[in-house]
Amino acid sequence: MNRRIHPLAAVTGLIALLAPGLAAPGAAHAQPGSAPGRAARDCTPIRPETDFYAGGRVATVLLAVPDDPTCTTISVSHVVDVAVPTDRCQDFLVIFYPTDGSEPIATEPVTACSHGPRSRPVVLATDVPDGTWYRVLYEIDYLGQDVRFTVRH
């Protein structure tokens, strides 16, 4: 099932929600130990760090789609609530930051569930151009919830 990038109807609310977490792309990193200003540059899965909480959602650090024509999909897998390991489902969406400075764009929320180590990744966005800056957000079920997941891009 393909999910395309769709603008949010309430972009103003989205900007208010994400403004505290916006960062210059050069200041972001994709995973612990990576060089500042660089995102992961292959299609391998990563476990991104969280950056901020706002409006009932937790956002990852700023990530970038690798410069690889085979890496055009953003998906999540290995979803688990750390405090409740039997809870393996969460609602995710992606916020894209256009390089032209225009307003951020979001996908529709998608419920992703993991049913063990062989679960297939759940696609959040397709046809994403190389070098696109984005964050993955998940909706929390309760305050303080810590959800671990893997991002493939």
Give pLDDT tens digits for 86-129: 999 999 999 999 988 899 999 999 999 998 878 899 999 999 98
Distance of CA 108 to the CA centre of its chain: 12
Round to whole Å and give the CA distance between 70 and 64.
Answer: 14
- The structure's pTM equals 0.72
Centre a 10 Å sphere on the Cβ of residue 72 and count the other Cβ atoms it contains.
17
Q: Enumerate residues 6+ apart whose C-beta is below 8 A from 121.
A: 75, 76, 77, 150, 152
SS (H, E, C) 107-120: CCCEEEECCCCCCC
Centre a 10 Å sphere on the Cβ of residue 22 and count the other Cβ atoms it contains.
13
Class of domain 11-28+38-152 (CATH, top level): mainly beta
Round to whole Å and give the CA distance between 107 and 122.
Answer: 13
Round to whole Å and give the CA distance between 45 and 17.
Answer: 27
Round to whole Å and give the CA distance between 2 and 107.
Answer: 12
Tokens representing residue 28 in the block: 């972001």
pLDDT at position 28 is 36
Give residue-wise pLDDT tens across range 1-45.
Answer: 444 444 443 333 444 444 444 443 433 333 333 333 334 444 778
Give residue-wise pLDDT tens across range 47-60.
Answer: 999 999 999 999 99
Q: One-letter amino acid identity for 77? A: S
Give the residue extent of every domain in the chain: 11-28+38-152
Round to whole Å and give the CA distance between 3 and 78.
Answer: 20
Residue ranges with strand state E in the chain: 50-54, 57-60, 63-64, 74-81, 89-97, 105-106, 110-113, 122-125, 133-139, 147-152
